[in-house]
Amino acid sequence: MARVKRSFYLRPTLTVAKDLLGKNIVRKIGNRKLKARIVETEAYLGPKDMAAHTFGGKVTKRNKTVFKKGGHIYIYLCYGLHWQLNFVTRKKGVPECILIRAAEPVSKRKIVGKTNGPGKLCRWFGLDKSFDKEDLVNSKRIWLETDGDKIKKSQILSSERIGIEYAKEWARKPWRFYLRNNSFVSRK
């Protein structure tokens, strides 16, 4: 397994969103590691994207992490209940990111809880606001790994994003990517 390098995150967001499929999120807690393979992502393209927290280029206390260089974690609380894990992409000052919607556990431990949705995924990994701004490239508690397996284009499906109907035509952009026939993909 090789840790994913910074250059991976600095590429165009839609490319990274597809290429994240099949990568492993590794979370170290004490002496143990939790690991899950990403099976579903959703891209948000910054100031022009009405569904993005950075729509219009506004910087707030909540979204300022998205303006960092690619490879950082942007995590926020949705509806006051569920943490949402996002990976920042592109260069510093270009506020784009990818929501990690679902992952398939590969850890050799009994699976407690589900990972087929962004809130469930964060609960399973034990993620909260303390992970905001974490650098996936250098972190000792969370990072991405690749095992060299390539996902075939025929395995990747796309659809409109979920739960952002307020964003009008931007909600219909096919920027949700997921693996065909994977039981851990979230449901609409």
Would you state the pLDDT for residue 111? 59
pLDDT attached to residue 79: 75
Residue 108 has pLDDT above 80, yes or no: no
Question: How high is the pLDDT of residue 78?
Answer: 87
pLDDT of residue 13: 98
Q: What is residue 110's predicted lDDT score, i.e. its pLDDT? A: 60
Residue 74 identity (one-letter amino acid): Y
Q: How many angstroms separate the CA atoms of 54 and 48, rounded? A: 8
Ordered structural domains, the chain, with CATH: 2-179 (3.10.300.10)
Model confidence pLDDT, tens digit, residues 144-169 = 999 877 899 999 999 999 888 888 88
Question: Could you tell me which residues come within 8 angstroms of residue 118 by beta carbon, excluding any fewer than 6 positions away?
Answer: 78, 82, 83, 84, 85, 99, 100, 101, 102, 186
Max Cα distance, the chain (Å): 46
Residue 46: how many other CB atoms lie within 10 Å: 20
Give pLDDT tens digits for 112-127: 678 999 999 999 999 9
Q: What is the pLDDT of residues 18-39, one digit of tens each?
A: 999 999 999 999 999 999 999 9
Compute CA distances 121 → 12, 15, 38, 52, 94, whole Å: 25, 22, 10, 20, 26
Choice between 81 and 7, residue whose per-residue pLDDT is larger: 7
pLDDT in tens, 44-79: 999 999 999 999 999 999 999 999 999 999 999 987
